[in-house]
Each structure stands twice: as structure tokens, then as C-alpha cells.
Structure 1
Amino acid sequence: MGISNWGLAWTLIMPIALILYYFYRKKYKDQQVSSILYWQQVMKEMQASPYLKSLQHHLLFYLQLAALLLLVLSLLNPYFKSDGLEGEEFIFIVDTSASMLAGSPSGLEQQKDLMKDLAEEAQGKPVTIINAGSTPEILIGRERSVEDLQQGIESIDSGYESAEIEKAVLFAETLLEENSGVIHIFTDSLDRNILANKTGAAYEVHALNEKPANVSLRQFGTAEGATGYRAIVQVLNDSESPVSGAIELSGGEHGVSTEIELEPGEEKLIPFENLPANELWQATLDVEDDYIWDNQAFTFNSQSVDAVIIDNALHNLVARGVESLGITGNSASAEELPNFTGIPLITNQSNLIGGNSPILLIGRNDETSFAVSGGVETGNHPLFAYAPMDDVYISSLYPGFDNFTPVATVDGHPFIQLSPQGDIIVLADIEATDWPLNPSFPLFLWSAVNELSGSDEYLGTFLPKERRSIALGSSGGEWEIFKGEEYQFSHIEGESNFCAPKEPGIYRAVNDEETKTFIVQLNNEEKVLNSGQDYSAGNLIDTESSTEHSVIPWLLLIILLLMLAEWEVYRRGTSYR
């Protein structure tokens, strides 16, 4: 308790003057007259108790004196101090990665409880909360209300993506307005080297001191063998006791499982042979541990294109464009091309369309070209998702194929067509365009090879909340994302990059025409659990860690109640006169 305004101590003369007034005021004696006989009857109850009568005679004096003393005290500005967090402003960096969900209660819940306690100790000083995801995100900015901070902290949820603590620290340092700020980091563990030699602020690391028991499914993959598909599952017991359980593989209506036993720290590779030819497989680890999100893994058996066959009659720029994509371009003569099966062919041999291999036809060997002018107009197709054709110049075209679907035109004439079998037709020689000089040329080749590989039904594997530009190619542009039968959100193609869901699993992108599958998989970093120690780093300018709380509002409330009591005394007519 303290006083901050001793200069007004002279006001104590006012209650002293009140006391002197009551000492020297004129005395009266009781005198019965006929006009007060009625009031004597009313006063009988009070006259029955001499103590109550004495109190009532002096009550007004006590109330006035108490109110006056409290008024003088409030002028002196009394306050009391309470200990709080050291610093003038605070930034909380919270790790919301999947590994923080391990344990019961989870590490994230433990850190949220600690954040609530520290937010209360901040006692009205500004607090900013940052989510340390792949991109730092401000969840709450310079909030002073403890209640709002508590609600905001309670609403924090895991983003499942790997935490970028170092990036979040650099971002937090730009938000501090003065050197008396403190950055609190809430995570499972943090290397001291990250905060080494930092002097712009003070850093407090709040780590998880106990490491949860965990058995993780580290790797899962499938490949085609001589007698069918085979799978390999890598599993690790990262705990201090032996465990037993099972690994189950499921794909469509097919399923197979095997029992496992692991010693502490033991790692095993579990093979599965003679699996049926199913595109999508899921591995599930059934054990008792403190972390469930690394007990599942997924894989999709899409056709990977490592090489294509290029007709050696085509311009050399075609081969260079393919090789720039990291795809091997094997050269072959026109006579050798029919001998290839299943692998994409890039040629101008029109007779190969509809054969045993997917075809990217560039030009035609059975027709004569004609001159054209004007810009290229493209339709809504995945081929052009990364390869805009606005600046491409075409000097001549070949006649189009009947009953083939045009997806790009020049002067109303077909430029790029699709066959009913899915072959891609470019009705121009490379020499008749400036396309190879445009960045869209290799991107078009990449889209075309992916289209021919038959992987258009699989969008790929994503990390949680990963943003990526993908070619969906719907006519309406709107896709609904489902996990099983549960609707997640909608994505409008072309408005922004696709953002994957945060929770691992198998998802479907659905529109009116087709369905595409994609997988959300944890980063391998999130399959490793850590524990650490709390520590401090950095420098902080000396500041007062306690907070002064004025008691004037409470004093004014009491004075108001005393004044109401005085009014009641006057109303009852019980003051001594």
C-alpha cells in the first residue's frame, strides 16, 4: 500500500474542523410541549434502548466524519502494488505443430494454460500472440484485456504444419515498439543457438519437460513387383519400453495386417508382398502410445513419367524443352515409334493416334499447313493452367481432325485438340511459331506429359495447409473438398492458390463433372517428439515488474454509500439536534 500525492495532506484540516464544529455547537435541552406529545409516542421504540438512542444521536456525525476522511484519503491517491511480468509489452509465440498434440493433456493444452496465467500476470500491458506456422500469423494484436486474451488463447488450435520458430522470432522482433519488450516462446523444445547473440529483446522459452511415449510410422511406399504390388513400412519405437501391436494395410476392399513387437529404440522394415493393383493404399499402426497422428500414412500408385520418346524428325527445341523439365527424352525414328507401348510419344506421325501409347502430336505429316494471323485463344483446360498462350505467335496451322475437341484456336481455326482417347494434338510445327522463346513452352510440355500419363485424377500429396498452384481444369471453376463423406470447404479455381486442409488424411475434390483425389501427409519432422528445458536469453532494459492499482474507485463507491446512509438518517429524523 502506498500514497502518491502527499501534497494534499493539508486537507486533513477538514475532518478536524468537523470535529470542532460538533464540540462547540449550541446545546439544547429537552422540553416537553403539547405539540410533540404525538412524536413521543412514535419514539417509544428508540427510547426503549439507551444504547440505540445514543448511537442514533451521534450517527450523522460518524457518517459525515467517515465520508470526509475517505474523501481526504482519495485526494492522496492511495494505491497497492502487485507483482507482474517483467517488461512493458509481450509477444507470445506459440508452436501449434502436430507434435504438440502428443500427450494427455496435450503439450498444446499445457502451453495454453501457461499462456493464460502469464496473460493475467501481464495486468493490462499489451500482449500479441503469434502462431509459429510455416508463415507467422498474428492471432491477437496488442490486446490489453485479460478476458479477451483468455478467450483468444482458448480458441488456439493445432495447424499440424511444422513450426518455423526462428522465422516467427524474426517477425516478432519487428513488432516490438521499444526495447523493454519480452518475447515468450511456447514449444516442446528450442535449440539455444537460435537465440544466441540476440540483444534486441528478452526471450523466455517455455518448453515441455517430459517426452511422451511414441511409436511412429516413419515411411510407407508401394511399388509394382513381378507378382503384383509390394509395400514397405518403416516403423520406430521411440519410447523407453517395449511395445506390441499391429500394422494394417487397406486399399479399397482389400486389407492385410501383421503383428509387430518392438524393443525400446528399435526400428523395423515390414514388407508386404503380392498386394492387389489398387491405386490408393493406407497404412495404420495399431499400438498404445501418446501420439496418434504419426500412426497413419498414405500412398497413391500413380504412373510416374521419367522418360518420353521423341521423334527425331521433330525440331531439336522439343527435346530441349522436355529435358529442361528433368524428364529423359529418348530419340527414336519414325519406324521405331510403333514398337513402344504405354510410354508417351512426341511425334508428328498422325497414324499413331489412337495406338498403344499416348501421343503428343506436334504438327502433321499427312497434311499441308496454311497461313494464319491473330492471337491464340485458349479454353478452360488444365493444359493452360501454367502455360498462358497470350504472347505466342503462330504463322501457320495444319487442318484439324474431325470429331476432336478443340481447346485452343487461332483465327477461329483449331490450334490444339484432344482426341477421344486423350491424345493431345498441336496443329503447328515448332518452326512456324515463336513458342520455344516463351516460358509457357516447357510448362505446356510438362502439363501435356502429366495429362498423357493418366495422373489427372490424382492431385498429389500435400503437407498440412500447404499452398500450391494446381491445375483442376473444371468448366465451372468451383470444387468441393471432402474427407470421406464430410464436407470441408470449397475452392474457386483461379481466385488463389489451392490451400490444403490442415488435418492429415485422404481427400476428394469434387465438382459436377469429375472427382480428383489428393493426400495430406505429415512432415517427417512432426513424427519426432522432443522435450526440452525452460531458459532465458537476450537483454531487457530494467523496468518495474510490479503494477500500481489505484483504490480511488473503491473509495468513491464507499463515500457514495455513506452519503446515501446520511440521507436515510435525515429522512428518518434521527439526528441529534
Structure 2
Amino acid sequence: MGFSNLPLLWTAVLPVIVLLYYFFRRKYKDQYVSSTLLWNEVMQETKASPYLKHLQKNALLYLQLLALLLFVLALMNPFVTKTETAGDQMLWIVDTSATMLAGKGGTTTFDQHKEKMMDLAENLNGRPISIIATGEEPKTIVQKETDLSAIHRAIAKMEVTYEEEQLTKAIDMAHALIGDEAASIYLFTDSVERGELPIKSDNIQWIVKGTSDELENVAVTRFAATSHEDSSLALVQLKNQTKNDKALTLSILNAQKEILAEEELLLKAGEEVTKTYKNLPSSSILTASIDVEDDYKADNSMVALIGSGPSQIVVDQQMHSLVQKGFQALNEEVKIAPADQLQDVDDAIVVTNRTELLQGSKSPVVLIGRNDEKAEEINLQVDESEDALFSFSSLQEVYVSSIYPPFEDFATIATIGGKPFVQRSSKGDIVILTDIQSTDWPLHPSFPLFLWGIQNELTQGKTTLGAFFPNERRAVSLPSGEWTIYSSDNEYVSSLDGGSEFRAPMLPGSYTVRSNEEEKQFVVQLSSQEREIEEGRSFELGSVKQNREEEATKKPLLRWLLIPILLLLAIEWEVQRRRGFAN
């Protein structure tokens, strides 16, 4: 601790003057009066407490002395010295993913980190700072900013974007901003492993600020629904991520928020359960919601669209019998047709290996294998992505012996050995670049679930846009013209032009995009990564080599002295008022 205005120590003479005033003020002699002698007995109780009597008599003196001493201390501007290990510049990476909304007592991890950032900003002492917000497209909030007020405003405006943190992209941007200079990088997140942080440079130190609380979470990890005749079928997956048993209420609601099904459940510690609900009343949108005591509410509900597209499935007669039986187990309306008749199929999902149908068919196509190319040997396992098609079916343990060449214009949603394995066309067709007999996929439980996911996706039809992640950018089939996005409560969200790139809203839920002639529904869902809370901690990694002395920041204590000074003045006023100002 030190004082930045030590020459003002001379003001300590002020309390000395007050003390001298009390020493040399006019004093009175005690004079006994006969008429008051009888009061001596009554006053014995007061005389039995001489210290209290002394304090009452000299309360004003002590209050004045204490207030003056604190005032003198404030004039000398005391501070505490705090050593900061820092480079030439400071950079903050702020996690804005949905899991930052977890927290105890109504205070989220994101709010706690914003308070820490405000405190750190006070100790910058003019040093430049850059702030990066994570996401699919990391954003630079401020860059080499030194104005404290601008930094405070930027911190106050930051908010959770519900996107995955995509930490690797934010780190790449941080290295681009830093260059070859020495720097301290603060990472404000909920959880990160040491191995995820690069320590290639000797001039970079990582200071990780993780969550300070042990959080509990029960999540709706997956939810999907499909129509069957005049009813709906829903599949819900729940996971208890805590170390304790949790009681909850699971509800299935329709588009009007009416409860279609409700069930009381008890999930054991770490348990994961899947519930199926059949013969639900028909609805365009279903919501799975749980009522449970936990520390993260964003993953307690999930919305699913029920498509209005083709429900019938037509399978090429030349396809492997496992494919035929797999779809027949899911849907009674499966037909087996010769290859030469598939071109004329309308209002049905076509399952084939004939690539020419991708262009010529009017119906959605599921292409398994290719009839126009030769497969090459690969002998590896599949690496899937976070695509919604794999919500219920993990392909990570699926072994594949050979694959076909990919389609150049199609989006890849699963790879194997770095090569495309599952693709999606711009109009929604699903392509699997192998023959079923070249894999052990049918032996895995994920095979029928994957087929069910394909059916569910392709039956969404023309009245829906499908499911998106928060703020996801994707090309969608919207006719040209002005379109407006509304929430489920019919509140305006944003506008866009048809034919341009579509960007989903930030908040999870159901939405409608409308033009003057038609409207389409879509949903925004958290990714599976944002539906799981991990235990985090704070730590430091690496060090900064500096040629100059280590910097010490000064944290002033003036504001902590002003409050007791004002309080003492108020008490002094009250004591003087009770005694009477004339005295």
C-alpha cells in the first residue's frame, strides 16, 4: 500500500487543532446545590458506567477526529499496488455461447465475467486493449483501444449470441491482431482444456477465467417429430448431467402452447433416457419442455417442425435389401419399384443409386452409392459434423471399406479420412457416397435412426425451411421479393430479400418468414455442444519474456474512504442536533 499525494500529510494538523480546541475550551467547576443532593442516589447507575458516560460526553470529539483523519487519508490518495504480468498489449477473448447463461442465484457466468472485465479495465493505465467475441464469425469489439470510457461501453453492450464458441477461429483472429508482439491473452469462458490453447510463442501468456461455480444441468439433448396419418410421433432424449438424482416434469406442447402429453420422471445421476410419444394430435410444430431445478435454462426446451411434404417412400428395386427393410421398418407406406419407373415418381421420397435422378426427379432423392463412378478403397471410420441429420444417430464408430467420388457443388456434412462421405444438395437431396454392403453400418443402432432422420428431414415439405442454429447463414429457396421474419408471438424480428443468403435469428424457438403471397416456418435450435455444461476452472499458461521491468498497477482506495466520511458527518450532525446547536 502507498500514497500518491504524500506531501498533503501536513493536513494532519487539522485533527490536532480540533483536539487542542477541546483541551483549552472553557471548563466548569462542579458545585453542589442542596436541592440536588437527593438526585445522587438516582444517578448511581450512570456513575457505574464511567466509560459509557465518557463516550457520551465526548462523542462529538471522537466523531470529528475520526472524520478528519479519514479526510486526511483521502487527500493523500492511498492505493494498493498490484503486479500484472503483461506484454506490450492486452487482448481479451470473450465466449458468447449459450452455455455462458448458466449460473447460480440468477447471476450468469457471462455477467460474472463482465464484472471482471470492468475491474481489469480500471487497471489498464493507458495500455491498449483489443476484445474479440467468439462465434462462427468472431467479431472484434474494440481494437487497441485506450479510452477507458469506450472500453466500458463496449463491455456493457456485449451479449450472449447463443452460437458455439468456435474457439479456434477466435484464437486465429487473436494471433492476427497480435502479430509478433508480446501480449497477454485473457480468455473469458465457462470451460476450456489446457490442450486447446496454443503455446507456440514465448511472448504470449494465457490467463483463463472459467466458471467459479459448480453448476447442475438437466437438458433436452434431442427432439424430433414426424407425422403419421392424422397423428404425430415425437422422440425426446433427456440427460441428467449432475451427480444427483433429479425429478422433472416432461411436457409435449403444440404450436398453441397446449399440453399434448405430460409425464413425471426421475433421472438418476448421469442417466440418459429416450422417450417416444405416439398418436399425438396433429400439429405443425411441437415443443418438448422440462420443468426442473437446475442452473441452465436455455436447454430445457426444444422445438421441432412436423413436415407437410411427401410421406411416401419409393425404394429402387436394385438397392440392397437392408436398405429396403430399414425404410419399411420406419414407414408402412414404402414401395419397391423398378429403376426405370423412378423418373415418373411424384410426391414421394426416392431412394436409389442412380445419379441422373438428382437432376431429373421432381421428388426428394436419397442417393446411396453411385452408378456412374467406381468406388475407391479407404478402410477408415466416419467423422461426422454437428449437422441436425445426426441428432439421434452417431456415425463415429461406423467402418467403411470404400467410398465414391463426391459431388463438387454439394455441401459435405460427414467425412471419412478427410474425404466427403455424406453430402446434401442445394435442394435438400441426401447423398451417401458408399454402398451399404461396403460398411458395417446396418449392424449399428444408428442405422435405422439415421434413416428415420432422413425421412424426417425430407418430409418437411415446401411450407417449411427446416432447422437452423442461432445466427446460422445458409442458402434457402425463397422466391425473390421482400420477406419478413416473425417470432412465435408474432413479433417482428428482421427483414430480408428473397434469393439472398438467409441468416437465422439469434434466439432459439419457432419462427415464420412471410411475404405478400406465402409464408414458411422454421425453427432455431441450440447445437448439441451448447446443451452440455462442463466443469471449468481458471488457470494461467505460458509466460511473457520482457526486456523491461514488470509493470505494477495502482488501484486507488479513495472511493472506499468517501462513504465512511459521509457517514461520520451524518452521525456527527445528528449528535449535534440532539445536544442542541446552542451548546
TM range, normalised to the smaller chain?
Answer: 0.5 to 0.7
Q: 2:348 aligns with which of 321, 335, 343?
A: 343
Matched, 1:210 2:213: yes
**Contact 2:230–2:281 (Cα < 8 Å) also in 1:** no
Alpha-carbon contact 2:483-2:495 (below 8 Å) kept: yes
The corresponding residue for 1:289 is: 294
Deviates more, 1:517-526 or 1:303-312: 303-312
Q: Which amino acid aligns with 1:492?
A: D
Alpha carbons of structure 1 residues 144 and 446: separation in structure 2 relative to 1, 3 Å: closer
Query: In angstroms, what is the RMSD of aligned CA positions?
Result: 4.0
Question: Displacement of 1:309 after TM fit?
Answer: 8.0
Residues 160 and 283 from structure 1, CA distance in 2 versus in 1: closer, same or farther, beyond 3 angstroms? same
Distance across 2 between alignment mates of 1:444 and 1:162: 24
Specify which of 513, 528, 532 is matched with residue 509 of structure 1. 513
Check if 1:99 corresponds to 2:99.
Answer: yes
In the TM superposition, what are the counterparts of 1:119-518 in structure 2 within 5 Å?
119-199=121-201, 200-224=203-227, 228-252=231-255, 255-302=260-307, 303=309, 331-332=338-339, 342-343=347-348, 455-474=461-480, 476-494=481-499, 496-518=500-522
In the alignment, is the contact (CA less than 8 A) between 2:214 and 2:535 conserved in 1? yes
Summarize deviations over 1:434-472 as a string: whole Å, max 9, x none.
xxx9979x978769xx99977111011000110001111
CA–CA separation in structure 1 for the residues paired with 2:195 and 2:425: 42
Residue aligning to 1:12 = none
After superposition, the Cα gap between the structure-2 partners of 1:186 and 1:252, relative to the gap in structure 1 and judged at 3 Å, is: closer
Alignment correspondent of 1:521: 525
Contact 1:173–1:201 (Cα < 8 Å) also in 2: no
Q: Secondary structure at the match of 1:148?
A: helix
Q: Structure 1 counterpart of 2:89, which letter?
A: E
Counterpart code for 1:527: R
Determine the C-alpha separation between the residues in 1 that align with 2:227 and 2:486: 30
Determine the structure 2 residue equivalent to 1:89: 89
Per mean C-alpha deviation after superposition, the further-off stretch among 454-463 and 175-184 is: 175-184
The separation in 2 between residues aligned to 1:227 and 1:95, in whole angstroms, is 45
Preserved contact between residue 481 and residue 487 of structure 1 (Cα < 8 Å): yes
CA contact (8 A) 1:467 1:500 kept: yes
Shift of 1:218: 0.9
Q: What is the DSSP-based 3-state SS (H/G/I as helix, E as strand, rest coil) of the residue aligned with 2:534?
A: coil
Q: CA deviation at 1:153?
A: 0.7
Would the aligned equivalents of 2:128 and 2:145 in 1 still touch at CA under 8 Å?
Answer: yes
Query: What number of residue pairs does the alignment pair up?
Result: 367
Cα gap change, 1:443 to 1:261, in 2 (>3 Å): closer
Structure 2 match to 1:555 = none
1:480 positional shift: 3.6
Q: Give unmatched runs, 5+ long, in structure 2.
A: 5-78, 319-334, 352-359, 364-406, 411-423, 430-454, 555-583
Q: Which entry has the higher C-alpha Rg, 1 or 2?
A: 1
Contact 1:482 1:489 in 2 (8 A): no
Q: 1:81·1:546 contact (CA, 8 Å) conserved in 2?
A: no
Alpha-carbon offset, residue 337 of structure 1 = 8.9
For 2:195, give the aligned amino acid.
N
Give yes or no for contact 1:244–1:260 (8 Å, CA) kept in 2.
yes
* CA shift in 2, pair 1:226/1:499, >3 Å: closer
Shift of the alpha carbon at 1:196?
4.7
Q: Identity of paired residues, percent?
A: 28
Change (3 A) 1:276 1:212: same
Alpha-carbon deviation of 1:128?
Answer: 0.5
- Note the alpha carbon deviations across 1:296-330, whole angstroms, 9 max, x for none: 11111223689668999xxxxxxxxxxxxxxx996
How far residue 270 of structure 1 moved from its aligned partner, in angstroms, is 2.3
Structure 1 gaps of 5+ residues are 4-79, 313-327, 347-358, 363-436, 550-577
Distance 1:286 1:81 in 2: 48
Helix, strand or coil at the partner of 2:493: strand
TM-score scaled to structure 1, two decimals? 0.56
| Separation in 2, partners of 1:481, 1:170 | 35
CA distance in 2, matches of 1:157, 1:309: 48
